[in-house]
Amino acid sequence: MSETTAERGGATAAAAPTRTDRQVSGVSIRLEGVTKNYPGQAKPAVDAVDLDIPAGQMVMFVGPSGCGKTTLLKMLNRLVEPTSGKIFLGDEDVTGQDADQLRRRIGYVIQAGGLFPHMTVGTNVGLVPGMLKWDRKRIDARVDELLELVGLDPEVYRDRYPRELSGGQQQRVGVARALAADPPVLLMDEPFGAVDPITRQRLQDELLRIQEELGKTIVFVTHDFDEAVKLGDRIVVFDVGARVVQYDTPEAILADPAEEYVADFVGAGATLKQLTLTRVGDVELLHPQQARVGEDAAEVVRRASAAGEKYVVVVDRRDRPISWPSLAELSRATTVPDTVDEKLPVVGLRSTLNDALDTMLAASQGGVVVTGRDGVAGVMVVETVMAAIQRTRDEVEG
């Protein structure tokens, strides 16, 4: 770290560990005095920014509209040419490197996925490996692997066109495409801005899961402070000219905003935002009886009644939850039905309590099914969320 970096106000991340001890496949990014003057603009859009982004971390860029977040992001893959300053990937100065070469090492995800509409999902995902002249077999295998990774069945989606997908699915394909050549760095510019809140929450959960697995260095621009708190290992709060006002963990920023400006930006709901820091996996879950499709319904009802329960979670053959019927409903069937409840409220262990509450409200249900790596991890009821909110309030206020 240079002295100038230190002087310019906390633009270096402290050497705190990431949220989990994940594998790291990313490289660090270092900016030194990076500046952009757009022609005809009196002031630089980005003014002499120094920033160190540690390898394998997800760093969120937030700040008011027009403060220069996107310009700064686009200078990292040179969609915007810096006026001055230096950019390093690891120890390598990439400021003068051929931009096309550079972009093959940096995945880029934008709103709505930015897919080519006239190409199938498979062709979209295989674009960069194709440019890198991988052979057909290797590309096909990689496409399937990536579609699996982002939760899309390759058999079903490989040959579809983007217009045949929902917004959330297109976004998943966008992420798969950005990861295709296994770049160490991923840039994401408001990727989930155009999808509905519940889909956004699922995509965020998926991104956390993928990041846990891959450990890329991710730089993520967002307007949504809750999203920054949920996803970020660290958050950079910018002001005009991409001035770094605060660069720290979400916990630290919420607990101690650096300036009044940051406090305003964090907002009056900071107490409740603390809830965004609590993951579903951090609270005690209930463990209901489960039943598998095709089981004898009367037997399941007997088992659940004996355990004092009124509902069971039905899972399919791959242990995925598909419905959550009452014993009364179940006793009308002979075998446990394979009916999929499209509105079944489901969240992951890495979802936040806010997400869980939103999901319950959207489904008009008093609980959610929680899934983990190996299927159903439990269920959570609204009372648990309320108790956690109360605890957070007590802690913050008292």
Ligand X SMILES: Nc1ncnc2c1ncn2[C@@H]1O[C@H](COP(=O)(O)OP(=O)(O)OP(=O)(O)O)[C@@H](O)[C@H]1O
For the stretch 54-69, what's the b/e string if a residue is b when 16 or more beta carbons lie within 10 angstroms of its beta carbon?
bbbbbbbbbbeeebbb
**From CA 37, how far away is CA 247, in angstroms rounded?**
24
Question: Residue 192 or residue 324: which is nearer to ligand X going by CB?
Answer: 192
In this complex, which beta carbon is closest to ligand X, that of residue 87 or of residue 322?
87
What is the end-to-end Cα distance of the chain in Å, rounded? 39
Out of 51, 67, 178, 228, the only residue in the binding site for ligand X (CB under 6 A) is: 67
Can you tell me which of 30, 69, 279, 350 binds ligand X, judged by CB under 6 A? 69
Q: What's the Cα-to-Cα distance from 216 to each of 6, 25, 185, 187, 250, rounded to whole Å? A: 25, 5, 6, 10, 19
Question: Nearest distance from residue 76's CB to ligand X, in Å?
Answer: 12
Applying CB under 6 A, among 5, 28, 57, 70 the residue interacting with ligand X is: 70
Which of 66, 197, 267, 294 touches ligand X (CB under 6 A)? 66
Window 177-236: residues binding ligand X (CB under 6 A): none
Could you give the CA distance from residue 273 to residue 251 in angstroms, rounded to a whole number?
A: 10
Q: Which stretch binds ligand X (CB under 6 A): 10-18, 58-66, 133-141, 323-331?
A: 58-66
Please report how close the Cβ of residue 261 comes to ligand X at its closest, in angstroms: 15
Window contacting ligand X (CB under 6 A); options: 66-74, 90-98, 140-148, 245-253: 66-74
Rounded to an integer, what distance in angstroms lies between the CA atom of residue 177 and that of residue 74?
A: 18
Yes or no: say if 122 and 143 are a contact pair by the CB < 8 Å rule: yes
Range in contact with ligand X (rule: CB under 6 A) among 68-76, 109-117, 201-209, 308-316: 68-76
101 near ligand X (CB under 6 A): no
Could you say which of 3, 15, 21, 41 contacts ligand X (CB under 6 A)?
41
C-alpha angle with apex 150: 147 to 151, nearest 5 degrees? Answer: 85
From 67-75, 289-297, 302-310, 336-344, give the range in contact with ligand X by CB under 6 A: 67-75
Name the residue nearer to ligand X (CB basis): 41 or 101.
41
How many binding residues for ligand X (CB under 6 A)?
Answer: 11
SS3 letters across 70-127: HHHHHHHCCCCCCCEEEEEECCEECCCCCHHHHHCCEEEEEHHHHCCCCCCHHHHHCH
User: DSSP class of residue 279?
Assistant: B
Positions in the binding site for ligand X (CB under 6 A): 38, 41, 45, 63, 65-71
